[in-house]
Amino acid sequence: MALRKRSGKWHFRIKVDGKSYAETTGLAATERNMRKAQQIELEFIQALQEGRNPTRRIVVRKFSDAADDFLTWAKAHYREHTSSFKRIKTSFASAKAFFGSDPVSLIDEGKIDNYKAWRANEHEVRDITIRHDLHALSKFFGYAIRQHWTFTNPIRGVEIPSDANAVRMHILTPAEEKDYFMRAQKFPNLYDVGRLMVNQGMRPEEATVLAKADIDLGRGQIHIRRGKSKAAKRDLDITSESRSILERRMEGDSRWIFPSEKKRGNHIGRINSAHDSVTEQAAKDGVTINWVPYDLRHTFATRIAQGGIDLVTLAALLGHESIRLVQKYVHPTAEHKKTAMARYDRMIRKAEKTSQRKSKSLSN
């Protein structure tokens, strides 16, 4: 027998006819479960010796218990992307309330559809929230399959709200921008992070974790060293306003641009709280601010896209791996299209004239 403990579960590794097999029993690695785990191992060996595919047993787990195990795994898996883990954890607060003690293996497409309806009707959440919830559940069921808690991922048979329906953004007008930052001056961190987002297109979590070592004023660049993907790690050329902000914040003994006595990453909550304070004060003045700090990045992207930048460069500036992800920022007007066609027409006529001159030169 070759039972071993891995990640709190009984696993076994065997060799039959010169071929190695490594499997998990799905059982918690306790003395009480050892006999059951040994029986699963014996049945696996017997099936191989008889020329059969070993039947993988489903380990019955209540959703609430399985969800706790999954979140423990997810916290380690997303340790470099804490915002992704927080989003998953938030989604699972409602999922655990809905599925409760249901066995993971008995959750099918029908129950997932009921969960979607429950979220929409009882909690009145938007499509983008349901989309996040379903993606979190899909990740969970992938983990559950590996743990032998279920055979299938029911999310694959459920309609997920599309990007077009789920994505919400607000592009600030010049007047809205001016009014907002006038109010935000009471909150220096919010003001400076916001201006960096408008000027550089950075994500808020990218701006708040900047170290002074990430700023190269000599070359005029900001180095984004961490991100949600490989493309998120990038260098950004500093605008004039960003330079003045960074030069001021380079002063002092802290190694951070936005120093904090608490652990890193805490600034996002403080930025959002400051934004809420600005929003509440604006409401008292009869001004509605119905957008979030992330919309400052959307504003940057849309403005620079309307300025004529190509999609490949826009994707690189925003730290996106796919051009498809940045197309939502491009809203060409009739004038933009007219200018583009006029530019193309000039390019064609110039090429034709060049070709005609070459032909005349050769004939002479």
User: 249, 203 in Cβ contact below 8 A?
Assistant: no
User: 37, 21 in Cβ contact below 8 A?
Assistant: no
Cα 152–154–160 angle (5° rounding)? Answer: 145
The lowest-confidence range among 50-59, 137-146, 174-183, 228-237 is 50-59
User: 149, 140 in Cβ contact below 8 A?
Assistant: no
Q: What share of the chain is helix, strand, coil (3-state, %, to 5)?
A: 60, 10, 30
95: nearest Cα among 58, 143, 62, 126: 62
The Cα 96–Cα 67 span in angstroms is 7
Q: Mind listing the pLDDT tens digit for each residue in 188-223?
A: 999 999 999 999 999 998 999 999 999 999 999 999
231: nearest Cα among 267, 203, 199: 203
Amino acid at 217: L
Q: Mind listing the pLDDT tens digit for each residue in 260-287?
A: 755 544 567 789 889 999 999 999 999 9
pLDDT of residue 55: 66
Cα torsion through 330, 331, 337, 343, rounded to 10: -30
107-124 burial, b for 16+ CB within 10 Å, e for fewer? beeebbeebbeebeeeee
17 CA to centre of own chain: 45
Amino acid at 91: S
Whole-prediction pTM value?
0.57
The Cα 150–Cα 57 span in angstroms is 9
Amino acid at 137: L
Q: Mind listing the pLDDT tens digit for each residue in 334-354?
A: 676 777 788 888 888 888 888
* pLDDT surpasses 90 at 240: yes
The Cα 55–Cα 141 span in angstroms is 19
132: nearest Cα among 147, 117, 116: 116
What end-to-end distance do the CA atoms of the chain give, in Å? 92
**Stronger pLDDT, 253 or 227, i.e. the higher one:** 253
The total of other beta-carbon atoms located within 10 Å of residue 151's CB is 10
